[in-house]
Amino acid sequence: MHEKIVFSTLLWYNKKKLKLQQGENEMGIYLNPENVDFQEVLNSKIYIDKSELIQYTNSVLRTTQKYICVSRPRRFGKSMAANMLTAYYSRGCDSRGLFQGLKIATHPDFEKYLNQYNVIHLNMRDYLTESENMKQLIQFVEEDLLDELQQEFADLRMPRRKTLVKVLEQAFAQYKIPFVFIIDEWDCIFRVHKSDAASQKTYLDFLRNLLKDKSYIALAYMTGILPIKKYGEHSAINAFYEYSMTDASPIEEFTGFTEQEVRRLCEQYQMPFTETKKWYDGYCVDGVSIYNPKSVVEAMLRGKFSNYWTKTETYEALKVYIDLNQDGLRDKIVQMIAVEKVPVNPDKFQNDMTTFHSADDVLTLLVHLGYLTYDEQNRVVWIPNGEVRQEFINSIEDGGWEPVVQAIHSSEKLLQATLSCDEETVAELIEQVHQANVSILKYNNENALACVISLAYYSAQKNYTLHREMPAGKGFADIVFEPNRNCNLPALIVELKWGHSAEEAVEQIKQKDYLDCLHNYSGEVLLVGINYDKEKHHTCKIERIKK
């Protein structure tokens, strides 16, 4: 397919070269640009077809839903989507050959809107880099667009006041061809100028004047990391419909790679799907399981698993937020490192990187940045996968997190003691971790102990999938360690008690038939009972059985 696309594109460029030699105008940089950026995407070794996003944007053209703001983490395909939409709508190119063979080409309205609009494509980060202040940034945008508008429409009857908005209005009135605005990284101003409220307001007013309630707009599509900032009465661009990591419906499948897409890649590149899922899955976007596209592509092409996405930004960016420790934030971070889910209320988040009134605000920001994922139905957050969990570990290596880090560092020793049925050592190590973290987690609480156990067995995550409160037999098993495929280690079922005995815990596993939870496993199972008493003394009982 790629050879066909390249050949078609070469024909197009040859035709364009002939037109230029005959004196016709060259297409714009910002107004009606060519499709070369999307061509590069298609030429890549791995391309996942997300072209059906166009079906959705076509459905909202010239409707009140035509204002779209898509926010998702860095390296999650925002710019790719922007380049794809530009290639599809822009009158500055012929993209029929590019889209042949893609999913969108099978839809009835594909030809109807193909290359039919005046497209203005801006990347605001480019302007932010060039300008010294917000006034200059806006000036540069207006000058560039006015220059290209006058070149594109040589016979345009210029209005007396040659402002950008007036010229756009005149161009639409005269030619009856509406504009599609595609603004990439629209929110970079808020991320770079975090505390400059005056510049932020000036920028929002500019966008409002340019976009809101303008008849010359057929579609306005903006991408960024943060949703639109909440300004109370000053809702400068409140016409936009937002699609974010906390609410992306109905375009959630375009947020990243779906499980089916990743399975196909694993088959093509002969990479183990189970391991890929453990490293890069975990983003829950309106019930759809989404994989990190950057990391999946790197893993497939390199043939090995590593922290690819987190390497695109220093861990200090995460450390700044988790060190705030607002409203018991540290407790919640520890729980999530221990593979737990934490309740959150994202509704009060102000959609910026400076306004934090509670732990919920920080956790919601981390969802938008890609460090956490959010389940809207249950209103909980958690660390999505092993790649991101390691970034949390890197961020807490120093600075008051010593008890947690020590527990993680000693977790391999604990796992080996468990596998060896060394009950005394297991009890001793768990007691050390429990007492060291008593300042973070409430002591006489089985849920807190379960969190400590998960933390203490942190290294087991390399070879096991951990399940908390797993439905089993006649109840719920406290913690189940299910071995990954192609792993020869035994399964672990851990039952916790307070003020009873470790022996009672093991008996409960048997009596309530907790082994029933290991439906897809046969082999050796270790039944691990752990008890602690009022004197904070821990005991352990381990029994080895066959399933």
pLDDT of residue 171: 96
Q: How far is CA 321 from CA 227, 310, 324, in A?
A: 18, 16, 5
> Which tokens in the block code for residue 400?
């008051």
**Average pLDDT over every residue of 345-368:** 91
Q: What are phi and psi of 445, to 5 degrees?
A: -155, 120
pLDDT tens-place string over residues 389-418? 999 998 888 777 888 899 999 999 999 999
- The set of long-range contacts for 366-369, using a CB threshold of 8 Å and a minimum separation of 24, is 366/318, 366/321, 366/322, 367/245, 367/246, 368/71, 368/72, 368/73, 368/225, 368/226, 368/227, 368/244, 368/245, 368/246, 369/73, 369/74, 369/225, 369/317, 369/318
pLDDT of residue 469: 86
Helix residue ranges, H only, 119-258: 124-130, 134-152, 164-175, 188-192, 197-211
Contact 126, 187 (CB under 8 A): no
pLDDT tens-place string over residues 27-78? 689 999 999 999 999 999 999 999 999 999 999 999 999 999 999 999 899 9
pLDDT tens-place string over residues 219-270? 999 999 988 877 654 556 788 999 999 999 999 999 999 999 999 999 999 9
Strands 373-375 and 342-343: unpaired
Least confident of 206-220, 434-448, 504-518: 434-448
pLDDT of residue 253: 94
**Residue found by looking up tokens 């908390």 in the block:** 468
Element (H, E) at 14: helix 2-21
**What is the value of pTM for the model shown?**
0.86
Helix axis angle, 359-369 to 329-337, nearest 10°: 40
Contact 54, 80 (CB under 8 A): no
**Average pLDDT over every residue of 113-122:** 97
Least confident of 457-461, 484-488, 499-503: 484-488
> Which tokens in the block code for residue 148?
């290209």
Least confident of 49-53, 165-169, 274-278: 274-278
pLDDT of residue 15: 41
Nearest to 151 by CA among 216, 92, 204, 196: 92
Contact 239, 222 (CB under 8 A): no
pLDDT of residue 89: 98
Q: What's the CA gap between 344 and 457, in Å, rounded?
A: 26
Contact 252, 285 (CB under 8 A): yes
pLDDT tens-place string over residues 195-224? 888 998 899 999 999 999 999 999 999 999
**Residue found by looking up tokens 């808020």 in the block:** 190
The model's confidence at residue 20, banded by pLDDT at 50, 70 and 90, is very low
Q: What's the CA gap between 185 and 80, in Å, rounded?
A: 12
The model's confidence at residue 16, banded by pLDDT at 50, 70 and 90, is very low
Strands 217-224 and 179-184: parallel
Contact 383, 337 (CB under 8 A): yes
Please compute Rg for the chain using Cα positions: 28
Nearest to 185 by CA among 64, 70, 86, 319: 70
